[in-house]
A and B are shown apart, each in its own frame.
Chain A
Amino acid sequence: MAYITFRGIDFRYGPKGPLTIRGLDLELRRGEFFMLVGPSGCGKTTVLNILAGFEAPTAGELLVEGHAVTGPQRDRIVIFQEPDSLYPWLTTLENVEFPLRVLGVSRSERRARVGEALRLVGLRGHEAKHPGQLSGGMKQRVQIARALVLDAPILLMDEPFGALDAQTRIILQDELAQIAARTQQTILFITHDIHEAIFLADRIGVMTAGPESTLKKIVEIELPRPRTRGSAAFGELYEHVHQILSEEVRRVLRREDSLL
């Protein structure tokens, strides 16, 4: 049985808003790294927000381990693209500790678990800094550490590396690949970057152009891990995914042209 099931999901903003997602069906397996790609405005983030429990679907059914999603819950942690979900008045240490304080974990256990999470993302030595004093890549590491500290079974990553420079992005991708292999979490990851998708994913879901978008095709990535970016198989997969995606992107561009 699938771990997470989207069945016939429709979504519109408000009772009379336009239908942005129509009839989305998707099943995620436990422990898999699933990438969602699609043209801008196709509703990728909406899919993630629905799974996070921030938005409720207009129609359809969403199950996690057979239970309907009714709101945000501790088993599904979101990592946002912008670092604005960090608390600027807290230090790195206090930010990562935050979920444990919410949980009511004792101070000594908190310190131990935070130390472990900070070590995993390479933030040791930055404990006393506030988010405003960290670089963009470091802030995303704080977000990842804050998610790891809870050992949540599901991670929802909304273009977490989208605003970073290319070098930092590659480093963080490498680190995330290692972390995912270790923790065996189920990850839903949104990206624009096909390279990133192929490097990290077990499967890539390509969405159609919006509105009324849905899942177009799922591509299995069966490259062995740890992966290298330059291989011939990598290049073939890139071409394959690029072709599926660019059809949809062209549809968006054509529509924008006809509107002019």
Chain B
Amino acid sequence: MFDASLTTAGVRAQSRWWYLGARSEAAWIGALSLVAVVVLWQIASTRWVPSILFPTPLRTLEACSTMMWEGVLPHHVAVSLARIAAGFVLGTVVGVPVGLAMGLFPPVLIFLEPYVQFFRFVPPVAWIIPAILWFGIGETSKIFLIFYTTVFLVLFNTMVGVSAVARNQIRSARCFGADRRQLFLWVILPGTMPHVLTGMRLAMGNSFAAVVGAEFIAAQSGLGFLIVDSGTWMATDRMFAGMLTLGVLGILADQLFRAASARWASRYLLSN
């Protein structure tokens, strides 16, 4: 779940995959596969299984548009996104400095490492019940869970990033007489950037899962609530619409993050 080895090389290779997939010779196979699955889904949910359990693609899209008109879907999306944004920003703001401190100062590392190594294996959903107890059923408990999801991923990746800065980059800066401040600002910070961005991107992906978990248990709004509530009322078309929206949002957020990194941080993603 928390892996710092997901490097920028991987990110680039990944975007190349998308690029390949978009190539013309591939386009028709992609279109074919999309049509095939939608048709198959339609047939399956009208012939083989009762559509009350498995709504057709048309019904799902209908539910999407109905909820769109009613304003239900935008409301739940906005609520979930606000929770993710708040927790994500908070987690990044705390995770980056602490990760840097752990990477730079051995006493800090030794003091915090046992906790980081332990809690990175405790999934965020495990904290739902204590979070409700501590922060109530309101927004704070959800934001806390997203914060928890984000902070360890960002912190861990930042910490690893500091130790991954090439030794010769540090050595040559010392040759030039760089003091500690210059070494930090001009060598270590930019050198750690790719890892920080990777940690943030992974954290964002996991935040979507965590917010759903939190909204299952303790919420009256948000996409997770929409999914579980629709399930309870057997409104499977609305449930599917919620899931579809969640998936699309996850992809959009990921692409947006990549585009933003490429736009504003591209030089830090270069390699020698």
Contact = CB atoms under 8 A, between A and B. Distances in A.
**A and B: direct contact (Cβ < 8 Å)?**
yes
Interface of A: 52-54, 71-74, 76-78, 80, 82-90, 98-99, 101-103, 130-132, 139, 146, 150
Interface in B134-183: 166, 168-169, 171-178, 182
B183 to A, nearest CB: 9
Interface in B95-115: none
Nearest to B266: A89
A78 B271 contact: no
B197 to A, nearest CB: 12
B54 interface: no
A102 B182 contact: yes
Given A72-B174, A98-B186, A102-B176, A85 B168 contact: yes
Nearest 5 A/B pairs, CB to CB = A85-B168, A99-B176, A72-B174, A74-B177, A85-B172
A253 B90 CA distance: 60
Given A73-B175, A150-B176, 6 more contacts: A53-B174, A72-B175, A89-B193, A101-B186, A131-B270, A139-B272
A89 B272 contact: no
Interface string B178-201: 100010001100110100000000
Given A89-B268, A98-B186, A73 B172 contact: no
Contact of A89 (B174, B176, B177, B190): B190
B16 interface: no
Contact of A87 (B171, B175, B187): B187
Contacts of B268: 89
Nearest to B176: A99
Interface of B: 166, 168-169, 171-178, 182, 186-187, 190-191, 193, 267-268, 270-272
A91 B270 CA distance: 11
20 contacts: A52-B171, A53-B174, A71-B174, A73-B177, A77-B175, A77-B176, A78-B172, A80-B172, A86-B169, A88-B270, A88-B271, A88-B272, A89-B270, A98-B173, A98-B176, A101-B186, A102-B176, A131-B272, A132-B272, A146-B172
A53 B172 CA distance: 11
A88 B9 CA distance: 14
Contacts of B186: 98, 101-102
Contacts of B174: 53-54, 71-72
A98 B174 CA distance: 12
B176 A130 contact: no
Given A74-B177, A77-B175, A87 B168 contact: no
A74 B176 contact: yes
Given A89-B268, A102-B182, A132-B272, A78 B176 contact: no
A30 B61 CA distance: 81
A130 B168 contact: no
A236 to B, nearest CB: 38
A76 B272 contact: no
B188 to A, nearest CB: 11
A119 to B, nearest CB: 21
Contacts of B175: 52, 72-74, 76-78
A85 B270 contact: no
Given A87-B190, A150-B176, A132 B270 contact: yes
